[in-house]
Amino acid sequence: MTERIEGPPGQSISHPSLWGIDQFEANWSLFMETLRKEEASLLIPWERIRWQIEHCEVYQEVHSNWETLDPGKRLDSWKRLLVAAEEACRTVLPVCVRCGQCCRMGSPTLHEEDLPLVKEGKIAWEHLIALRKGEPARSPFDEKPFILCEERIKLAEKEGTRECVFLSSEGDRCAIYSDRPLQCRAQGCWDPLPARDTAELPFLLRSHIFEAIEVLLEVIAEHESRCGFQALSQAFEELGRSKGENIEQVLKLLSYEDHFRRFVSEKFGISPQYLDLLLGRSFSRMAALFGFRVLEEPDGSRRLFPEGPGA
């Protein structure tokens, strides 16, 4: 790495010996972007690598002392820092540094081993969501889509993102780190094999969580019988084949499933925030999987709108 770093076209960057702390930080960001592109083939998330670089002893020393260094030492320090950064890319520490990157790529699926965390209230019901048999899902390991052959229980994700609900927005810290699920404990961006191995272990099911509440197990079974995901999928497939002719059938199914959820909530005094665990995601929300969104009118009627390219 040369002593002179090129910035955006038309912008000249002075010699490191002349930089103030603001110039140091700006040029460091440019160097980080250059290094990111050079190391694009690395399988480890760049955010993880940058965290390690910026928490190493050399960076901390140079950054904190930059303003007090004389010009000659600034140049030497900058050179040391560039070398340390490039070495860090090739010697990633096999430890979790809690940079939060794994947590942004999707929430974990729970296993039977995680049941005590739920029963003891360390993971509350409102932070769980059921993915039902037949629903599409995406592998957390290779991003490939697949259809669930049995249900899964996952931690909820923040609205509109794949970020785990327990990732704190301040400091990229897990709010339940000491009580995190099995998949999180096995996760290591430096070695994906332990987390992949958890896929061979028994998954947590709603029947485990509600095993002592027979009436809720009956509610789940009735909901699956009347509002299984396959029914929604078939309705939208027919909507496409009929070129919109059976839209009333789709709207009727959406309305019935919403009615079922309200009935259960009111009859058994179950807070609506628990229904994503008890009954899975609502059909109205899942319409987005088929390229539609549902709007409810003031009179309670529903309208279906296509979304996405060409809508």
For 123-151, what is each residue's pLDDT tens digit?
999 999 999 999 988 776 666 778 899 99
Mean pLDDT of 264-293: 94
Token pair of 122, please?
């360390």
Cα 31 to Cα 73: distance, rounded to the nearest angstrom = 19
Cα 153 to Cα 206: distance, rounded to the nearest angstrom = 7
pLDDT digits (tens, 9 = 90+) for 160-203: 888 999 998 777 788 999 999 999 988 877 777 777 888 889 99
The percent of residues in the chain predicted with pLDDT above 70, rounded, is: 92
What DSSP character marks residue 219?
A: H
Kindly report which listed range (46-55, 65-74, 153-162, 261-270) carries the lowest average pLDDT score: 46-55
- Residue 76 has a pLDDT of 92
H or E stretch covering 258: helix 247-268
pLDDT digits (tens, 9 = 90+) for 61-119: 999 999 999 888 999 999 999 998 888 777 777 777 777 778 888 899 999 999 999 99
Mean pLDDT of 257-272: 95
Kindly report which listed range (25-29, 194-198, 215-219) carries the lowest average pLDDT score: 194-198
Closest listed residue to residue 16, CA positions, set 25, 51, 50, 64: 25
Q: Say whether pTM exceeds 0.85.
A: no
Q: Tokens 């529903």 label which residue?
A: 302
Cα 239 to Cα 247: distance, rounded to the nearest angstrom = 6
* Per-residue pLDDT band at 10 (split at 50, 70, 90): very low
Give the bridge partners for 306, in sequence order.
292
Higher pLDDT, 164 or 14: 164
Write down the mean pLDDT value for the chain: 86
Residue 4 in this model has a pLDDT that exceeds 70? no
Read off the amino acid at residue 278.
L
* Per-residue pLDDT band at 308 (split at 50, 70, 90): low
Domain ranges of the chain: 16-88, 101-207, 210-306
Residue 25 in this model has a pLDDT that exceeds 70? yes
